[in-house]
Structure 1
Amino acid sequence: MTIELEEPPLTSDNNQVLKDLFGGTMGGIAQVLVGQPFDTVKVRVQSAPEGMYSGSMDVIKQLVKNEGPFAFYKGTLTPLVGVGACVSVQFSVNEFMKRYYDDKLQGKPLSLSQFFVCGAVAGFANGFLASPIEHIRIRLQTQTGSASGAATFNGPIDCAKKLYQSNGFGHGIYRGLVPTLFRESVGLGIYFATYEALIGRELKNNKNMIRAEIPAWKLCLFGGLSGYTLWIGIYPVDVIKSKLQTDSLTKPNYKGSLSVVRDVFAKTGIKGFYKGFIPTILRAAPANGATFAVFELTMRVLG
C-alpha cells in the first residue's frame, strides 16, 4: 500500500535538518505542557504498590490533598528540556528517513510499511535519549509527601548524580533501556505511519489541497488519533519500563524486564499490564494533537 502525499519533493539541504530539530523541539514543549498532569497520574498508578490507590481519580484526590495542585507538574523541568530534545530527534530522524526514501524511490510515494520503518528508526535513535530522561522524570514524579518534607532527590541534576552513584550507567541512569528501545521503535513506527496515512487520506479526498493547507484542527485530530494507536499498541511495555525505573535503588525487586513480567502477571494477571491506561489515553489526544499541530505549523512558518 502506497500513500500519495500531494506536496513538494522533500529537500535534503543542511538547513532542513535544523528546521526539523527546531520544529520538533516546539512540538515537544507543547506536548509536555499539555500532557504532564496526565503523565504524573499515569506513573503514580503504574508504579504504586498494590492497594495504595483505587484508581486514577484516587491518585488525583490524594495528590491535591497531600501535595497540592502543583504536584501534577513535579519533575516538569526535565521533560520540558528533555522531551523537547526527544521530540526534536523523533521528528528530525523521521523526516531524514522520509527524504532517504524519497531519493531512493525517485519521488514515488512511500508505502505504509516504509513510513513505519521511518518512525521505527526515529524511535530507536530516540530511545537512547528518552530512557535516562524518563528515568529521572519518573523518580521525581513518584516522590511523595508535602513540599516541606524531606525529598530523596532535589531536582533532576541531583537525581542523575544519585542514580549514577547507586548503580552506574547501565543499571542506574539507563535502567529500563531495553523496554524503552522496544517501545520507541514499535510505538513510533505505528505513530508516524498512522499520521501519514491520515494525511494521505485527507489529500486524496481533497485533490486540490496541498499538505500546507490542511487546517490546524485537522492536524490536531490526526495527531490525537496517532497517539491513540501508539499507546494501544505498546502500553504494556511502558508499564514494564515504569516498574523498572521506580524499583528500589538499594534493594531492587527486579533483575530485568522478564522479572517484571513474571511478577505483574503472578499478582494481577493481564490487567496489571494496563494499570494507568485511562489517564494515558485521556492524555494521548490533546498531547499528541498539540505535538503534531505545533510541529507542522512551525515548519510552515520556517518555510
Structure 2
Amino acid sequence: MPSDECRVGRLTGPAAGFASGLTKVVVGHGFDTCRSRHGYSSTPSSKIVLLFLCFSKPFNGRGFFALYKGATPPALGWAAIDSVLLGSLHNYRLFLLHNGIMTEDPTGTGERLTLLAHGTAGLFAGLTSAPLATPIELLKVRLQLQIQKSVSDRQFRGPIDCAQHLMRSQGVLGLWTGFSGGLLFRANFFYMFLAFEACMRGLSRLNGTFYEPSVGVANLIAGGTASLCFWTMAIPFDRMKNQMMSHPYPLPYPETRSITRPSLISVACQIYSNQGLRGFYRGLAPCFIRAFPSNACAFFVYEGLLRALGAEQTRH
C-alpha cells in the first residue's frame, strides 16, 4: 500500500488545482462572457468596438454583475475541472520523472523532465479533464448567450433548469454535446505547459542579476505568456466546440427530443463557408485580454500552493 506521505503528495496537485480554478473564474469570467458573445456577433465593427460594447451594455442594462452571467457552473465546476486538470498534470509529471521517461540532466545536478515531457503531461491532463469539463462548459455557454434583461424572458432560469432542458431534448448524453471538440481543444494544453516551463527556464537565466524576478513574479509572467501560446493554438477548436454547444442558437432549445446534435466536421464546414478561415479566430482579441491576467493569477496560486503544501518537485 502507498505510504501516507505518498497519498498526501498525490492530493496536493488536485487541492492546488481547485484553488487555481476558483481564481480563474473570479479574474476571468467577465472577459469570458464578452468572448462568448463576440464569437456569435454579426456586427461588422472592429474587435475593439465589439469588446467595448460588450462591457458597456451590461453596465447600461443590468449592472456589472451581468458580466458574470453563467458564473455559477464555472465557480463550482471550474474548480473541479482544474482540480482534475492540474492534479493529473502533477501526477503525470511524477510518473514520467520516477520512471525516467523523457528526462535529462543537462547540468549534472539531477534529473529533470524535458520540455517535451511537460507538454506531454499537459496533453494527457487536458484529455483526462475533458469528460468533466464538457457538461460544465455546455451549461456556461448556454447561460452566457441569454441576453434578456428579465429572468422571466429567459429560457433557462439557471444551470439546473438548463441541464433539465438539455436532457429532455437530447437525453442524458446531450450534456456531452461538443465532446469531440472539447477533446481537440483540451489537447492544446500540450502547448500551455510546455510554454510555461520554457518561460520559467528562460526567466531563471536572470538569477543573480539585477533583473532577477522572485518565484511568484516568474509564475505570473510565465503563466500569462503560456496562456497566450495556448489560445493561439486552441482558439479554432474552442470556436467549433462552442458552436456545437450553442446549437440551435439563436433559436430556443426545443422541449422534446427533436434536435440532432451537430458533428465537429459539419460545424467546421459551416464556420468556413460562412466566415472563411477568419471565422475560426473570432473572439481572439477579448480572449487574449482575458487569458493573460486570469491564467497568470491561476498559475501563481497553483504553483504557490504546491510549494506551501510541500508537493514533490516536478520542475527544475
Q: Normalising TM by the smaller chain, what interval?
A: 0.7 to 0.9
SS at match of 1:217: helix
8 Å CA contact 2:13–2:90 kept in 1: the answer is yes
**Cα distance in 2, alignment partners of residues 244 and 224 from structure 1:** 28
1:20 to 7, 13, 24: 13
Counterpart Cα distance in 2 of 1:259 and 1:110: 40
CA distance in 2, matches of 1:265, 1:96: 39
Correspondences of 1:102-141 after superposition (within 5 Å): 102-105=97-100, 108-141=111-144
Please point out which of 67, 70, 81 is paired with 2:65: 70
Specify whether residues 189 and 84 from structure 1 end up closer, same or farther in structure 2 by C-alpha distance, changes over 3 A only. Answer: same
Tell me which residue corresponds to 2:178. Answer: 176
Distance 1:165 1:148 in 2: 21
Query: Could you tell me which residue of structure 2 aligns to residue 3 of structure 1?
Result: none
TM-score (norm 2): 0.84
Name the aligned partner's letter for residue 196 of structure 1.
E
| Superposed displacement of residue 151, structure 1 | 1.9
Instruction: Out of 90-99 and 151-160, give the one that drifted further.
Output: 151-160
Q: TM-score, normalised by structure 1?
A: 0.88
Question: What is the aligned partner in structure 2 of residue 260 from structure 1?
Answer: 267
- CA–CA separation in structure 2 for the residues paired with 1:93 and 1:293: 18
Deviation at 1:297, TM superposition (A): 1.3
Q: Tell me, yes or no, if the aligned pair for 2:18 and 2:79 is still in contact at 8 Å.
A: yes
The match for 2:289 is 282
Q: Deviations over 1:183-203 (max 9, x none)?
A: 101x21111111112222333
Match of 1:189 in 2: 190
1:291 counterpart = 2:298:
yes
Q: Is the 8 A contact 2:151 2:157 kept in 1?
A: no
1:61 equivalenced with 2:56 (yes/no): yes
Residue 43 of structure 2 corresponds to which residue in structure 1? 51
Unaligned runs of 5+ in 1: 1-10
Q: What is the aligned partner in structure 1 of residue 107 from structure 2?
A: none
1:32 corresponds, among 8, 25, 50, to: 25
Give the counterpart letter for 2:288 in structure 1.
I
Instruction: Give the secondary-structure state (helix, strand or coil) at the position aligned to 2:153.
Output: coil
**How much does 1:169 deviate?**
3.0
AA matched with 1:184: R
Please say if 1:223 is aligned against 2:223: yes
Instruction: Output the CA distance in 2 between the equivalents of 1:81 and 1:155.
Output: 14
What is the CA RMSD across the aligned residues, in angstroms?
A: 2.3
Counterpart position of 1:163: 166
2:314 — aligned with what?
none
- Show structure 2 runs of 5+ residues with no match: 104-109, 311-316
**2-side partners of 1:62 and 1:252: how far apart?**
32
TM-superposed deviation, 1:254: 6.6
Task: Find the counterpart in structure 1 of residue 154 from structure 2.
Answer: 151
Q: Take 2:140 and 2:81, find their aligned partners in 1: how far apart are those partners?
A: 13
| Structure 1 letter corresponding to 2:43 | G
Distance 1:116 1:156 in 2: 33
Please give the secondary structure, in 2, of the residue aligned with 1:13: helix
> How many angstroms apart in 2 are the aligned matches of 1:278 and 1:165?
36
User: Would the alpha carbon gap of residues 179 and 115 (structure 1) be closer, same or farther in structure 2, given more than 3 Å must change?
Assistant: same
Identity %: 27
**Measured at CA, do residues 53 and 59 of structure 1 come closer, stay the same or move farther in structure 2, by a change above 3 Å?**
farther
Encode CA deviations 1:221-265: one digit per residue, 9 max, x unaligned: 110001000000110111111111111233768721111111111
Q: Which whole-Å CA distance do the structure 2 matches of 1:233 and 1:77 have between them?
A: 28
The alignment status of 1:206 with 2:201, answered yes or no, reads no
